[in-house]
Amino acid sequence: MESYRNILCATDFSPCSEAALKRASNLARSYNARLTLLHVVEHFPEDRSNEEIAPEYTDPAHYRVSRAREQLAAQAARLGDVDIAQEVLVSEHAAKYEIARFAGEQQVDLIVVASHGRHGVGTLLGSTANGVLHKAPCDVLAVRATE
């Protein structure tokens, strides 16, 4: 088996993504691989919590990117690794497309994502993890987690 050299962990900052982050970090240590944390800010998210709404007189795009960078830094700090690359992409496309595209451009050989384990209509419409699995140019590890 080839060892992984460049691991990408895509995160949406949900509790489920914490399990994927820990797994990606452990794999990076085991393989002595580079680890990149990625968050995609979708231009038209399906749902948005009140915490993501920019304060008055603040550019919403800048606010969302700024918050994402802060959250990535906090996740990297929790993992305890000194050298974790952190990327925030702003896109008009769905995260599943951007994660796969980024992985191809950066020559990633493993993408780690959380599988939320949703059922019903969410499954019919397709999840980000499922989309990444079908579009990725490399191996994908979907880490099952419960909220």
Span 68-83, pLDDT tens digits: 888 878 888 887 765 6
| 46, pLDDT greater than 50 | no
Tally of structural domains, the chain: 1
Is residue 24 very low, low, confident or very high in pLDDT (cuts 50, 70, 90)?
Answer: very high
Q: In the structure, what pLDDT confidence band is assigned to residue 63 with cuts at 50, 70 and 90?
A: confident
Which tokens go with 134? 């079908």
Q: Which CATH number fits the domain that encloses residue 69?
A: 3.40.50.620
Q: How far apart are CA 59 and CA 55, in angstroms?
A: 8
CA-CA distance, 28 to 120, in Å (whole number)?
34
Range of the domain at 62: 6-144
pTM for the model: 0.78
> Is there a domain that residue 1 lies in?
no
d(CA 96, CA 80): 27
Confidence of residue 7 (pLDDT cuts 50, 70, 90): very high
Convert the pLDDT of each residue in 105-137 to its tens digit: 999 999 999 987 655 444 544 588 888 989 999
Q: Is residue 41 part of a domain?
A: yes
